[in-house]
């Protein structure tokens, strides 16, 4: 059967345009999956590398449950027999002139020699080089820093350069290699303490200890001790929901990609039906015919998969940057480096291309080999059985939808169950495509015959009678458009929920130091309180603590001020909820409540500086600041239990009765600028939050675009296949008096018709998908409620995309019509 | 002598159930080895259906077919495939050449499937149908008559005992059609191959030893050549 294989493979050259479209289709499907997967992998591995690099060879760290740690502790640590080495650290961030946030590590190079030999050796090497000039400038010059070589190259810095930051100008004394990929600035710990106003305190102490149990028994009270593994787990837990989100997007890409590859593989089989019949009539066995098909399909799978792996690798470089920027905005600074090209990527692409192709051709191949040769030899057949067949398929779809509903109902077990339910739902609704095409046929026939006359009418009939080909392409496109609508509606609803939340909670006229890179001195807070016309000032302190072994946040605020000036979104009750907070109770975010199943009236036990404190929960409020859970308490309660007076930012409320509101605002601004503290008006803060929100969904938006591109190739492939299969039919149309223009018009109407049906279906499916994403996936992943908000934009975008993509997909077949049919051609191929 | 083809009480309904008009309604036929038969009948009378069922390309609803004494149904799918590989040749109205194979490759394919991959035999078969020098051409580079010659060479090259030709001249002009019939019948006589030709063309009578007429799914008694169907 070598000759048959040869015959099949020659089709690829003979129908070059179709082959290229099919190859691109598979490649795009694979690229979407590989690109998303690689960028997620880059982010997570960079994260591990960064943690590993910064922690060096330390085995543990010790810190206060909240806030900085007094450096007097160091004297006791020296004497502790379990401690072999220790290294105090100031770990802060500054903003560069381009507003990029960079980690600043204040270290003692001598104490760090064992704990972080890579960093300290860089320091000593640099000191050796600059020994003649200024051997101790790193210590003596308060503004002296070392910059990692990647950042130095990026900013064109060298020893002697000046680096402008939100904490003033730094003098670069040297550079050091940094394999973690995270931009890093080093300075002497004493200088860091001065710059960040941490007199006598450090953020944490990294340790190498020899007896953990003994050490813990001595330092349990008032401190948090974390092993390297625990630290990694804590940080990984912070990324959990984000990781889930990336995985979901990868799966989404896989779903659309597989759909498209399925489409391509199916076309290969159905368009070669007649050849299979001829072969069978000549005595070819079923398995021989199958083998010939599989050769072609695997050829596509391998080549398309390999191409997809290359595309995916390129795409991952772009996506990695977006993913890194999102993680940096939401969690902790991370600048992931794209994964290097690897043969494994190629293998994954090929495997994906082949598996999806195989999946795609199974059903039509089985159907083909079970068909009597005489039926196969007839080649392309009109979609028979019509409504009955479509009805049967839709009935199967109904069964699958029931399964999807069951999965979604049981999603409380794990969000993966929810994801499975979502994909099963999409699969189920896809099976309604045939029925939908039949349902819309009269309407489309009427519409297209009004617009395009006979060719419009015939185009609709062609879509209907070739449903074996068109339905899968319509379904693939419909799924892509539904995802666009679903994700778009979800994002829009989330945005509106966020705006509602901001308008209820962030009602201050001015906010001082909200960017997280400069704390507010307490005396400045006292000073502002005395400014005439100030109605109240809310102090804001946010710290990460551990609750039931996982990271959560405590926020200390001024309950009286918030009670007076804001209207929180309470799950139940109103501003009277603040009263118990003033007395020492806490309120918790909805995400905290759902995550730990803590209800109003329960108590949460948190490790304080002296003892474990049980805080009664007085109310639950809607919150979108963190999915990990938030415990909010009055500042006085916080100071009492955590001995931390740090203020991260201030919310300033002007007295509503004060006549000169603008004057007060100007005065606060003037005083903040005098202290070099960043200040933002309410609308500026809201805009910043919304811009962070929009950046966060950059990956999701990229996936929407990818899904559309993938689906575009689906439609283009379907149209091209129909064109190739119907060359003779087109000749007959010409013989009947059709002009080339009319045939081209018919092809265009077919494309638009398919796009239109896809869009009409996607409006319903997309809305349902949005509800699933909001009510099931988001709630389960992030534990917060998003309120559904209808906006027309995602639907308009999908509609425009559908029409544009179908017109775009028709262009090549139309060009082929003009090129191929200047004369009448009825001859068999 | 045992007939090479025996058809007994053959029924064929299209569709899932036995509803509507059958394409074959209890037809019977016996063909002796080496016979050249012309089968006439109106469109839709069941000629092609009968041919397809004899070739094992389609299956009857009821009835029995024996080829060289073997019950087609009992042979199973594998047996029928084996039969088509070695004992049966088929010539179609629309040639059904594989478009991506050259004339030579189309013929050689038949030998390859029969387990006789002899390139010289493929070349000789093409020469015998007058296509020497055109072995490397693809079907679209050949005229209709030439394509049908390739199809005949493909059917004959494996030396089958039966050739079934479904309107072999139906897609050709009269002149070319006559040439094709000359060629087909000569080759079959030479190889003592049984030939059943479904046709509308009166000229086919000239070549046939037996003339059969099919009406509404039943083969009527042999008719003289002067009274073929339209």
Model pLDDT for residues A617-653, shown as the tens digit of each residue:
999 999 988 888 999 999 999 999 998 888 989 999 9
pLDDT of the residue at A826: 44
pLDDT of the residue at A597: 93
CA distance A437 to A434: 5
Q: What is the mean predicted confidence (pLDDT) over A326-349?
A: 80
Least confident of A327-336, A497-506, B134-143, B145-154: A327-336
Mind listing the pLDDT tens digit for each residue in A226-236?
887 777 777 77
Q: Where is pLDDT greater, at A585 or B114? A: A585
Name residue, tokens 């695997």: A298
Sign for the CA dihedral angle at A80, A86, A88, A93 comes to negative
B85 → closest Cβ in A283, A372, A373? A283
Mind listing the pLDDT tens digit for each residue in B180-194?
888 889 888 988 899
Q: What percent of chain A has pLDDT over 70?
A: 90
CB A501 within 8 A of CB A785: no
Name residue, tokens 């002598």: B1
**B194, β-bridge pairs:** B162
pLDDT of the residue at A1: 57
Are A526 and A651 found together in one domain?
yes
CA distance B20 to B13: 8
Of A765, A770, A816, A742, whose CA–CA distance to A474 is shortest?
A765
CA distance A393 to A407: 21
Q: How many other CB atoms are there within 10 angstroms of residue A122's CB atom?
A: 21
Alpha carbon of residue B103 to chain centroid: 19
Range of the domain at A282: 1-60+227-379
Sign for the CA dihedral angle at A419, A425, A430, A431 comes to positive
pLDDT of the residue at A279: 86
Are A547 and A605 found together in one domain?
yes
Residue B19 in tokens: 């509803």
Q: What angle do CA A338, A339, A341 make, to 5 degrees?
A: 120
pLDDT of the residue at A537: 94
Query: Within a domain: residue A103?
Result: yes
Residue A97 in tokens: 């002139």
How far apart, in Å, are the Cα atoms of B144 and each of B165, B168, B170? 16, 11, 11
Provide the pLDDT confidence category of residue B227 given band limits of 50, 70 and 90: very low
Of B212, B216, B130, whose CA–CA distance to B225 is shortest?
B212
Query: Within a domain: residue A413?
Result: no
The alpha carbon torsion through A587, A589, A590, A595 (nearest 10 deg) reads -110
Are A476 and A521 found together in one domain?
no
CB B166 within 8 A of CB B92: yes
B81 → closest Cβ in A283, A374, A375? A283
CA distance A178 to A82: 30
Residue A22 in tokens: 């099919």
Are A214 and A71 found together in one domain?
yes
CB A198 within 8 A of CB A68: yes
Flag whether the pTM goes above 0.80: no
CA distance A123 to A116: 11
Are A485 and A558 found together in one domain?
no
Query: Within a domain: residue A8?
Result: yes
Residue A38 in tokens: 């690689």
Chain A residues close to B95, C-beta within 8 Å: 828
Least confident of A26-30, A78-82, A395-399, A611-615: A26-30
Provide the pLDDT confidence category of residue A377 given band limits of 50, 70 and 90: confident
CA distance A143 to A165: 11
Provide the pLDDT confidence category of residue A771 given band limits of 50, 70 and 90: very high
B110 → closest Cβ in A2, A274, A282? A282
Query: In b/e form, how buried is each residue of A670-700, taking b as 16+ CB within 10 angstroms?
Result: ebbeeeebbbbebeebbeebeeebeebbbbb
pLDDT of the residue at A380: 55
CA distance A697 to A494: 11
Could B140 and A827 be called an inter-chain contact, meaning their C-beta atoms sit closer than 8 Å?
Answer: yes
For A643, left (φ over 0), alpha (ψ -120 to 50), or beta?
A: left
Q: What percent of chain B has pLDDT over 70?
A: 93
Mind listing the pLDDT tens digit for each residue in B81-106?
888 888 999 888 888 888 888 999 99
- Indicate whether B228 pLDDT > 50: no
Report H helices in A272-370. 273-281, 286-330, 343-370
Could B82 and A3 be called an inter-chain contact, meaning their C-beta atoms sit closer than 8 Å?
Answer: no
**A364, β-bridge pairs:** none
Side-chain-side CA neighbours of residue A464 (13 Å) = 20
The crossing angle, in degrees rounded to 10, of helices A16-55 and A228-271 is 180
Q: How many other CB atoms are there within 10 angstroms of residue A140's CB atom?
A: 11
Mind listing the pLDDT tens digit for each residue in A354-367?
988 888 788 778 87
Are A253 and A129 found together in one domain?
no
Chain A residues close to B92, C-beta within 8 Å: 281, 377
Q: What is the mean predicted confidence (pLDDT) over B166-175?
A: 82
Selection from A69-78, A385-394, A596-605 with the highest mean pLDDT: A596-605
Could B84 and A11 be called an inter-chain contact, meaning their C-beta atoms sit closer than 8 Å?
Answer: no
CA distance A828 to A751: 25
CA distance A369 to B77: 11
Q: Where does a domain end: A622, A655, A677? A: A677
Could B57 and A10 be called an inter-chain contact, meaning their C-beta atoms sit closer than 8 Å?
Answer: no
Nearest-Cα residue of chain B relative to residue A274: B96
Are A53 and A94 found together in one domain?
no
For A208, counting Cβ atoms within 10 Å of its Cβ (0-12 exposed, 13-18 middle, 19+ buried), the class is: middle
Least confident of A11-15, A278-282, A337-341, A513-517: A513-517
**A86, β-bridge pairs:** A207
CB A511 within 8 A of CB A650: yes
Residue B43 in tokens: 């469109």
- Residue A174, SS3 per DSSP: strand
Are A81 and A186 found together in one domain?
yes
Of A557, A502, A537, whose CA–CA distance to A654 is shortest?
A537
Q: Where is pLDDT greater, at B30 or A328? A: B30
pLDDT of the residue at A128: 60
Query: Within a domain: residue A410?
Result: no
pLDDT of the residue at A556: 95
B98 → closest Cβ in A278, A286, A828? A278
Could A285 and B154 be called an inter-chain contact, meaning their C-beta atoms sit closer than 8 Å?
Answer: no
Chain B residues close to A727, C-beta within 8 Å: none
- Mind telling me how many Å the CA of B192 is from chain A's nearest CA? 20
- Indicate whether A728 pLDDT > 70: no
Largest CA distance in chain A: 101
pLDDT of the residue at B229: 40
CB A691 within 8 A of CB A431: no
Of A643, A617, A641, whose CA–CA distance to A630 is shortest?
A617
Q: What is the mean predicted confidence (pLDDT) over B14-43?
A: 85
CA distance A75 to A644: 21
Q: What angle do CA A104, A105, A106 make, to 5 degrees?
A: 115
Alpha carbon of residue A719 to chain centroid: 33
Chain B residues close to A280, C-beta within 8 Å: 57, 81, 84
CA distance A89 to A74: 11
Least confident of A118-127, A446-455, A517-526, A737-746: A118-127
- Mind telling me how many Å the CA of A275 is from chain B's nearest CA? 6
Q: Where does a domain end: A313, A345, A379? A: A379
CA distance A515 to A760: 44
Name residue, tokens 């389609």: B58
For A447, counting Cβ atoms within 10 Å of its Cβ (0-12 exposed, 13-18 middle, 19+ buried), the class is: middle
Sign for the CA dihedral angle at A127, A128, A132, A136 comes to positive
Could B113 and A377 be called an inter-chain contact, meaning their C-beta atoms sit closer than 8 Å?
Answer: no
Could A372 and B77 be called an inter-chain contact, meaning their C-beta atoms sit closer than 8 Å?
Answer: no
Provide the pLDDT confidence category of residue A829 given band limits of 50, 70 and 90: very low
Q: Where is pLDDT greater, at A826 or A600? A: A600
Query: Within a domain: residue A70?
Result: yes
Are A689 and A801 found together in one domain?
yes
Of A442, A473, A443, A381, whose CA–CA distance to A751 is shortest?
A473
Mean of pLDDT over chain B: 86
Whether chain B has a CB inside 8 Å of the CB on A290: the answer is no
Are A630 and A643 found together in one domain?
yes
pLDDT of the residue at B230: 38
CA distance A437 to A448: 14
pLDDT of the residue at A515: 66
pLDDT of the residue at A761: 95
The alpha carbon torsion through A170, A175, A178, A181 (nearest 10 deg) reads 50
Number of domains in chain A: 4
pLDDT of the residue at A827: 46
Of A232, A189, A185, whose CA–CA distance to A50 is shortest?
A232
Residue A745 in tokens: 């018009």
Host H or E run for residue A95? strand A83-95
CA distance A652 to A561: 10
Q: Where does a domain end: A197, A221, A245? A: A221
Mind listing the pLDDT tens digit for each residue in A462-474?
888 878 778 877 8
- Indicate whether A331 pLDDT > 70: no
Are A178 and A288 found together in one domain?
no
**A472, β-bridge pairs:** none
Are A581 and A663 found together in one domain?
yes
Residue A729 in tokens: 């039919």
Could A283 and B82 be called an inter-chain contact, meaning their C-beta atoms sit closer than 8 Å?
Answer: yes
């Amino acid at each position: 059967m070598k000759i048959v294989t040869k015959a099949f493979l020659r089709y690829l050259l003979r129908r070059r345009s179709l082959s290229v479209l099919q190859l691109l289709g598979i490649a795009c499907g694979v690229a979407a999956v590989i690109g998303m997967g690689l960028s997620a992998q880059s982010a997570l591995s960079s994260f591990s590398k960064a943690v590993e690099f910064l922690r060096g060879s330390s085995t543990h760290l010790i810190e206060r449950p909240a806030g900085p740690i007094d450096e007097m502790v160091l004297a006791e640590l020296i004497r502790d027999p379990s401690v072999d080495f220790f290294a105090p650290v100031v770990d802060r961030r500054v903003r560069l002139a381009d507003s990029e946030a960079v980690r600043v590590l204040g270290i003692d190079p001598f104490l760090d020699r064992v704990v972080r030999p890579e960093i300290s050796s860089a320091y000593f090497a640099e000191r050796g080089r600059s020994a003649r000039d200024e051997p101790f400038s790193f210590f003596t010059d308060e503004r002296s820093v070392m910059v990692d070589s990647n950042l130095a190259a990026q900013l064109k810095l060298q020893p002697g350069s000046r680096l402008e930051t939100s904490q003033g100008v730094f003098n670069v004394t040297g550079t050091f290699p940094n394999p973690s990929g995270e931009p890093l600035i080093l300075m002497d710990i004493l200088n860091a303490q001065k710059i960040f106003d941490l007199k006598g305190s450090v953020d944490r102490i990294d340790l190498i200890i020899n007896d953990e149990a003994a050490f813990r028994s001595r330092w349990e009270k008032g401190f948090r001790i974390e092993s390297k593994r625990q630290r990694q787990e804590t940080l990984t837990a912070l990324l959990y929901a984000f990781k889930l989100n990336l995985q979901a997007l990868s799966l989404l890409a896989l779903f659309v990609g597989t759909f498209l590859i399925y489409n391509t593989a199916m076309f290969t089989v159905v368009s070669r039906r007649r050849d299979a019949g001829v072969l069978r009539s000549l005595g070819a066995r079923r398995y021989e015919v199958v083998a010939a098909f599989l050769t072609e399909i695997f050829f596509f799978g391998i080549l398309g998969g390999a191409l997809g792996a290359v595309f995916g690798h390129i795409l991952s470089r772009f996506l990695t940057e977006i993913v890194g920027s999102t993680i940096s905005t939401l969690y902790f600074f991370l600048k992931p480096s794209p994964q290097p090209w690897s043969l494994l990527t190629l293998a994954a692409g090929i495997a994906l291309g082949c598996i999806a192709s195989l999946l795609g051709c199974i059903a039509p191949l089985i159907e083909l080999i079970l068909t009597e040769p005489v039926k196969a030899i007839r080649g392309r057949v009109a979609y028979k059985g019509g409504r009955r067949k479509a009805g049967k398929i839709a009935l199967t779809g109904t069964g699958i939808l029931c399964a999807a509903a069951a999965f979604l109902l049981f999603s409380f077990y794990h969000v993966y169950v929810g994801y499975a339910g979502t994909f099963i739902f999409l699969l189920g609704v896809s099976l309604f495509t045939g029925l939908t095409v039949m349902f819309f046929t009269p309407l489309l026939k009427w519409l297209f015959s009004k617009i395009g006359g006979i060719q419009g009418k015939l185009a609709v009939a062609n879509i209907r009678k070739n449903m074996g080909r068109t339905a899968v392409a319509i379904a693939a496109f419909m799924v892509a458009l539904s995802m666009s609508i679903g994700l778009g509606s979800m994002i829009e609803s989330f945005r509106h929920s966020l705006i509602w939340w901001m308008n209820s909670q962030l009602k201050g006229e001015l906010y001082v130091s909200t960017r997280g890179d400069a704390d507010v001195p307490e005396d400045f807070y006292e000073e502002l309180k005395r400014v005439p016309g100030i109605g109240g000032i809310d102090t804001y302190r946010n710290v990460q603590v551990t609750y039931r072994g996982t990271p959560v946040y405590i926020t200390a605020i001024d309950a009286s001020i918030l009670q007076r000036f804001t209207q929180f979104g309470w799950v139940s009750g109103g501003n009277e909820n603040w009263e118990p907070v003033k007395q020492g109770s806490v309120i918790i975010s909805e995400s905290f409540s759902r995550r730990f199943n803590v209800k109003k009236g329960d108590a949460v036990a948190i490790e304080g500086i002296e003892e474990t404190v049980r805080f009664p929960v007085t109310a639950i409020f809607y919150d979108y600041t963190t999915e990990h859970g938030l415990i909010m308490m009055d500042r006085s309660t916080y100071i009492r239990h955590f001995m931390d007076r740090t203020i991260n930012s201030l919310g300033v409320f002007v007295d509503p009765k004060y006549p000169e509101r603008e004057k007060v605002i100007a005065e606060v601004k003037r005083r903040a600028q005098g202290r070099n503290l960043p200040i933002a008006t309410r609308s500026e803060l809201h805009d910043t939050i919304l811009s962070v929100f929009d950046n966060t969904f950059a990956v999701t938006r990229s996936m929407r675009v990818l899904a559309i591109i993938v689906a575009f190739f689906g439609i283009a492939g379907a149209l091209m296949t129909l064109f190739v299969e119907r060359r003779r039919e087109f000749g007959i149309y010409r013989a009947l008096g059709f002009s080339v223009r009319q045939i081209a018009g018919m092809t265009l109407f077919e494309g638009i018709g398919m796009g239109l049906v896809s869009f009409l279906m996607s409006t319903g499916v997309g809305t349902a998908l949005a509800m699933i994403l909001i009510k099931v996936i988001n709630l389960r992943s992030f534990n917060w409620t998003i309120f559904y908000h209808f906006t027309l934009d995602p639907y308009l975008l999908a509609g425009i995309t559908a029409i544009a993509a179908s017109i775009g997909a028709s262009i090549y077949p139309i060009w082929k019509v003009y090129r191929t049919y200047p004369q009448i051609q009825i001859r068999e191929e | 002598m045992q007939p090479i083809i025996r058809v007994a009480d053959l029924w064929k309904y299209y569709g899932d159930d036995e509803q509507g008009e059958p394409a074959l309604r209890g037809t019977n036929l016996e063909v002796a080895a080496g016979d050249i038969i012309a089968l006439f009948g109106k469109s839709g009378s069941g000629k092609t259906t009968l041919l397809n069922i004899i070739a094992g390309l389609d299956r009857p609803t009821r009835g029995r077919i024996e080829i060289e004494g073997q019950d087609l149904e009992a042979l199973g799918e594998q047996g029928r495939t084996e039969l088509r590989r070695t004992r049966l040749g088929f010539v179609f109205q629309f040639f059904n050449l594989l478009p991506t194979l050259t004339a030579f490759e189309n013929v050689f394919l038949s030998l390859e499937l029969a387990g006789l991959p002899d390139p010289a035999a493929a070349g000789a078969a093409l020469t015998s149908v007058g296509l020497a020098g055109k072995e490397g051409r693809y079907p679209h580079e050949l005229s209709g008559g030439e394509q049908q010659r390739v199809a005949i060479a493909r059917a004959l090259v494996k030396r089958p005992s039966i050739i079934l030709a479904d309107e072999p001249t139906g897609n050709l002009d009269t002149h070319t059609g006559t040439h094709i019939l000359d060629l087909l019948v000569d080759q079959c006589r030479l190889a003592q191959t049984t030939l059943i030709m479904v046709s509308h063309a009166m000229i086919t009578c000239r070549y046939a030893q037996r003339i059969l007429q099919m009406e509404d799914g039943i083969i009527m008694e042999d008719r003289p050549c002067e009274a073929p169907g339209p």
